[in-house]
Structure 1
Amino acid sequence: MTIGLEDGASLHPEMPPGMPSGVAAIDVAAERARTAGVTQRHYLNAAGAGLMSDAVLERTIRHLRLEQRIGGYAAATELADEVDGVYASAAALLGADADEIACFDTATTALRSIFDALRLGPGDTVIAPRSSYVSQALRLLTLRRHAGVRLDVVPNDATGAMDLTALDRALEQATGRVVVSAVHVPTSSGLVEPVAAIGALARDRGALTVLDATQSVGQIDIDVRQVACDALVTTGRKFLRGPRGTALAYLRRGALDGLGGWAPDVRGSAWTGAGEWTTDGTARQLETWEAAVATRLGLGVALREALDRGMAATESHLAGLGDRLRRALAATDGVALADPPAARSAIVTFTVAGLPGKEVARRLGEARIDTIAVPAGHAQWDLGARGLESVVRVSPHVYNDEADIEALLGAVAEIAAEAR
């Protein structure tokens, strides 16, 4: 039985409607077979932390055991080629070169490192969308308050995405060095920003684009050359299904020419004299020497799994699943979609009349259905501006089957009915 769908619609996740010709279907059964976490709960929170595959977990643990036997440095030296392979896999996924990839512990750290290296000061301009996440928004507000940087938050158009005409106007009026702090998919909705158009406008105006892709890498096929961004950051734990505490950054070759990392480290710099040092021109100039090698190797497995699965197939599958969820939830009495019209991702947000999002997520959790409530404090320029105190966020992945979707829709319908 399907719940809340139009007649003739299907929830069958293997074959989303409108899949492009020649794109293979996702084998959901195979994904579930290699993901132990699906056996106990209906897990629909990939945008928070996707479920690792068994192989990702085993690779991480195996390296920790090696470190236990021979020490962390010796273990890293022994696996140096495999560690280098993580950069190659990330580059293949993003359409970059391996020397344009850097590894971090979190995407927030990566963003901070990039913006520190840009050395923005009085009179320089940062342009940001309303879809900015709290960590980056606070970073930009701090630059405005303490470094004298001009901050221009661009309004949305009728679709809920960044208004490109307003962006072009902001770029024309910007002063000093100009950086567009773009977002691909926000934390607060299923919106997909027009990042290729944003990057093209910025490049035409001589501005740099730094893209927050934490909610898109792993669910949307991304080519950094086509997007025309100068830097991109993403986390490993979400749609990439890597271990927590892993992240990646792409830094276009030459983007920091004449600047270099704000806090040089032996990882990407050489101390050549009492007061002199040289900096590696690659993205690794932003890294630090110390790192959790075990989780980085686990991320490497997750990257290879994403490549093997195929990002075109993954994007088509997840976009179709998100569309079906939006239709079903919109047809449920007492439920209102919170996604803007430009929502095209697997992330779906909604509210239930009479209940705060945290309470809805709690009740779903009692039914062994994992979602999350996103408060306005995580997205004031978006949720706060729309007068939404919180939304419930659902984010399926390739390991979710029809039983997971049915369980969610049935439970939301019951919660909404009780609230009425």
Structure 2
Amino acid sequence: MRDNNSAFVSIGEPLLDVPALRADTPGCETVIHFNNAGCGLLARPVHRAIVEHLDLEARVGGYEASDARAVQVGDFYAAVADLIGSGPGNIAFAASATDAYTRALSSIPFEPGDVILTTRNDFISNQIAFLSLRKRFGIEIVHAADHPDGSGVDVDAMAALMRARRPRLVAATQIPTNSGLVQPVAEIGRHCRELDLMYLVDACQSVGQYPINVDEIGCDFLTATCRKFLRGPRGTGFLYVSDRVLRAGYEPLFIDMYGARWTGPDTYRPVDTAARFEDWEFPYAAVIGSAVATRYALAVGIEPISRRTPELATRLREQLAQIPGVRVLDRGPRPAALVTFDVAGWSPQPFKQAMDHRRINSALSFREFAQFDFADKDITWAMRLSPHYYNTEDEVDAVAGAVAALAASPSAGR
């Protein structure tokens, strides 16, 4: 890799023009943004597309503006389809990954005694949704064991549970929000296909960071947000729905006039596409902004992004591991760009405030976010830093230096 003063940074081919990408990202001028796992910085074309549509709504009216920009709105579905290897008709817009996830869950006719098979490293909102289903419908939640080597779920053990329990749903989060662990979702998917089991994947932290192909994963549903590594606006996400789910007639519990046709006083018919999972009302400026963000990521190149972003995280982990009082918490052979650690002698909020004071954007994770994982690690909180491809090695070094300085004065954080 060349240093930060060169025009290009390369981890393999093709090259990423990091200075140009930073110039296209206004936030790089004011902060060191290491909270991309929370919300990525908007690129100028994304910001411009959102503002231009809001201006159009102000001039001509909201309905009229969306009619005038129908092509740009429609490109959201085409762009996301290009990103994950599906057809546009398999994509539904959602307000967030959690919104998409609950719409998918609501389409499954759970009955008492049905099993949801999942992992011990799942997203908090997904686990709460499962518990809510258990409370209301009497389902059973089964958590597959982790592999002893720390690489994530034990796929063989999970497959054995699939055969023994015949779950109504298998669910996995590819990258949990509380660590850099990357779960083997394609391996899980192969077993689901062999046993004809329904499979739901949360790709909230992986979309925009790694190549995603829904056929290779073998999922029936896949959910994601647009605000994180995809660098889209807040309040946007999507749901992928497989052809077999659509053909089988699955639909959300509360289907909207956009997703169905009222065919008679006592009948309705869902539309044929994943639009049955959508509602009538959309934040059209954000939809268009998400389409532009997706095209932007595709233009930058998901493959080079998937090499550079985790390598920046690796550089950060290696430096943090050398700091007395800092414990790096991520597991797995090739962790993603979510770097988690704790700092001896510090409480969470004072530590984050000290990072904020240095204009370093970060995030905190707490025990309630990851009951199994944080119990295993015997921690109550962790700091999360998440670089992206537009960050630089100099920024990594500066962030590690800031952590080192803070770790050296733990009395300040009590």
**TM over 0.5, yes or no?**
yes
Match of 2:207 in 1: 217
* 8 Å contact kept, 1:129–1:153: yes
Q: Distance in 1 between matches of 2:136 and 2:378?
A: 29
Q: Distance in 1 between matches of 2:245 and 2:259?
A: 16
Alignment partner of 2:34 out of 44, 50, 58:
44
Match of 2:193 in 1: 203
- What amino acid is the match of 1:111? Y
Q: Distance in 2 between matches of 1:41 and 1:259?
A: 45
Q: Distance in 2 between matches of 1:118 and 1:228?
A: 18
Alignment partner of 1:396 out of 387, 391, 412:
387
Match of 1:314 in 2: 305
Does the alignment pair 1:75 with 2:70?
Answer: no
Superposed counterparts of 1:44-193, under 5 Å:
44-157=34-147, 158-175=149-166, 178-193=168-183
CA separation of 1:34 and 1:399: change in aligned 2, threshold 3 A = same
Superposed counterparts of 1:265-284, under 5 Å:
265-284=256-275
Q: Distance in 1 between matches of 2:347 and 2:5?
A: 30
Does the alignment pair 1:348 with 2:373?
Answer: no
Q: Distance in 2 between matches of 1:386 and 1:168?
A: 26
Match of 2:320 in 1: 329
| Structure 1 stretches of at least 4 aligned residues deviating more than 4 Å after TM superposition | 8-16
Q: Deviations over 1:136-195 (max 9, x none)?
A: 1100011112111111011211224011122012112224x5211111111010000011
Query: Relative contact order (C-alpha < 8 Å, sep 6+): which is higher?
Result: 1
* 8 Å contact kept, 1:47–1:395: yes
Q: Which moved more, 1:42-51 or 1:272-281?
A: 272-281
Q: SS at the partner of 1:373?
A: strand
Q: Deviations over 1:197-247 (max 9, x none)?
A: 011112212211111011110001111111111111100110010000000
Q: SS at the partner of 2:238?
A: strand
* 8 Å contact kept, 1:128–1:153: yes
CA separation of 1:24 and 1:268: change in aligned 2, threshold 3 A = same
Q: Distance in 1 between matches of 2:334 and 2:364?
A: 18
1:10 Cα deviation after fit: 7.7
Match of 1:30 in 2: 20
Alignment partner of 1:358 out of 349, 353, 356:
349
Q: How does the TM-score come out when normalised to structure 1?
A: 0.93
How many residues are paired up?
408
1:264 Cα deviation after fit: 1.6
Q: Distance in 2 between matches of 1:77 and 1:345?
A: 40
Q: Distance in 2 between matches of 1:201 and 1:136?
A: 21
Q: Distance in 2 between matches of 1:372 and 1:264?
A: 35
Taking only aligned residues, the RMSD between alpha carbons, in angstroms, comes to 1.8
1:12 Cα deviation after fit: 8.8
* 8 Å contact kept, 2:117–2:144: yes
Q: Which moved more, 1:127-136 or 1:400-409?
A: 400-409
* 8 Å contact kept, 1:220–1:311: yes
Q: Which moved more, 1:273-282 or 1:250-259?
A: 250-259
Q: SS at the partner of 2:38?
A: helix
1:357 Cα deviation after fit: 3.4
Match of 1:4 in 2: none
- What amino acid is the match of 1:87? Y
CA separation of 1:12 and 1:362: change in aligned 2, threshold 3 A = farther
Q: Deviations over 1:15-40 (max 9, x none)?
A: 46xx44xx212221111101111111
Q: SS at the partner of 2:240?
A: strand
* 8 Å contact kept, 2:2–2:9: no
* 8 Å contact kept, 1:266–1:288: yes
- What amino acid is the match of 1:38? C
1:322 Cα deviation after fit: 1.5
Q: SS at the partner of 1:222?
A: coil
* 8 Å contact kept, 2:182–2:332: no
Q: Which moved more, 1:350-359 or 1:218-227?
A: 350-359
* 8 Å contact kept, 2:312–2:393: no
Alignment partner of 1:411 out of 399, 402, 405:
402
Match of 1:5 in 2: none
Q: Distance in 1 between matches of 2:200 and 2:333?
A: 21
1:124 Cα deviation after fit: 1.5
Alignment partner of 1:231 out of 209, 221, 237:
221
Q: SS at the partner of 1:320?
A: helix
Does the alignment pair 1:368 with 2:355?
Answer: no
Q: SS at the partner of 2:382?
A: strand
* 8 Å contact kept, 1:215–1:238: yes
Q: Deviations over 1:259-290 (max 9, x none)?
A: 32211212121111111111112111100010
1:54 Cα deviation after fit: 1.3
CA separation of 1:25 and 1:357: change in aligned 2, threshold 3 A = farther
- What amino acid is the match of 1:361? K
Q: Deviations over 1:317-360 (max 9, x none)?
A: 11211211111111222211110134521111111112233332
The percent of aligned pairs where both chains have the same amino acid is: 34
Unaligned runs of 5+ residues in structure 2 are none
